[in-house]
A and B are shown apart, each in its own frame.
Chain A
């Protein structure tokens, strides 16, 4: 196996967590309640912790003195391989929760499978992350139910968020060429095989939350191959500013 392929796979794993972490980080100081603010930024920190492990590994594969910061901060938009779901903005708290839950359902399954990766480094990252991700899933599940089964307005807002974000869910369990090859090598899981359980679990929560599954959805794909929604450039403008303006800066 060549290192480029593994690098591409690690980048994809790290980018989805990193961009979601960045979105959650935007809420620091702006959460609807102090306690919720802390909860969301905690999740962001968990995700960035995982990303560091992925990107330290990726930097080693690159060699030439590259560091995790180079990997994280200094790529162009089409070189980021995150799913499009996590780019979507914090329109309101219901969007934050729906986006989180759509991702957590998949992320937890992914970590459960990645623990068995033939790549020891990736298996170790998954092992370290799995309980964090399980908690993220717990938190977003209770919030889905609380919002959906809350007031008329909270239900309407959650349904609105779901109607908007649902189109980005199928990308999670639709493998790219890279993911297919990683599955063949026993490094990554067969994510296509997770699709049924993903939607079963997700729809069970949505039913309890008294929100409906959108009909006639045109699913969107491309983020994992570097084709992003219009949100991505704005995120990178914020995210990369310091490294671009002051390359190799130290904190």
Chain B
């Protein structure tokens, strides 16, 4: 029997209206404990208003060895960025 608790990934939403962002990981025996542990480990300094926890094994990550074929082809296709528009000066935050 594996005596180590499984690892959970912790996502915190820092303010209403913002997205949950990955904060780190921790050990917990079940989801409820993961929430409580995340509260104690990651939100002691008012970092969040909402928590998501997900057991790490449920996350499928891309293979680092395949990062070439996954991400390289986008590099020379600058036209995929909408950078060729003329924006009026009044428009901020674009």
Contact = CB atoms under 8 A, between A and B. Distances in A.
A39 B35 CA distance: 12
Contacts, number: 28
A33 B29 CA distance: 11
Interface string B9-32: 000000000000000001111101
A120 interface: no
Nearest to A36: B37
B88 to A, nearest CB: 49
Interface-central residue, A35, A138, A146, by most chain B CB under 10 Å: A35
Contacts of A39: 36-37, 40
Contacts of B40: 35, 38-39, 42
Interface string A137-148: 011001000100
Range, interface on chain B: 10 to 19
Nearest to B29: A146
A35 B7 CA distance: 11
A34 interface: yes
Given A35-B40, A38-B41, A39-B40, A142 B28 contact: no
A142 B36 CA distance: 10
Given A42-B40, A42-B44, A35 B32 contact: no
Given A39-B40, A138-B36, A139-B36, A34 B29 contact: no
Contacts of A139: 36
A33 B27 contact: yes
Contacts of B44: 42
B5 to A, nearest CB: 7
B49 interface: no
A35 B33 CA distance: 10
Interface string B25-62: 01111101100110111001000000000000000000
A7 B11 CA distance: 46
B13 to A, nearest CB: 19
Contacts of B41: 35, 38
Contacts of A146: 29-30, 33
11 contacts: A33-B27, A34-B26, A34-B27, A35-B28, A35-B37, A35-B41, A38-B40, A42-B40, A42-B44, A135-B39, A142-B33
Given A138-B36, A146-B30, 12 more contacts: A33-B27, A35-B27, A35-B40, A35-B41, A36-B37, A38-B40, A38-B41, A39-B37, A42-B40, A42-B44, A142-B32, A146-B33
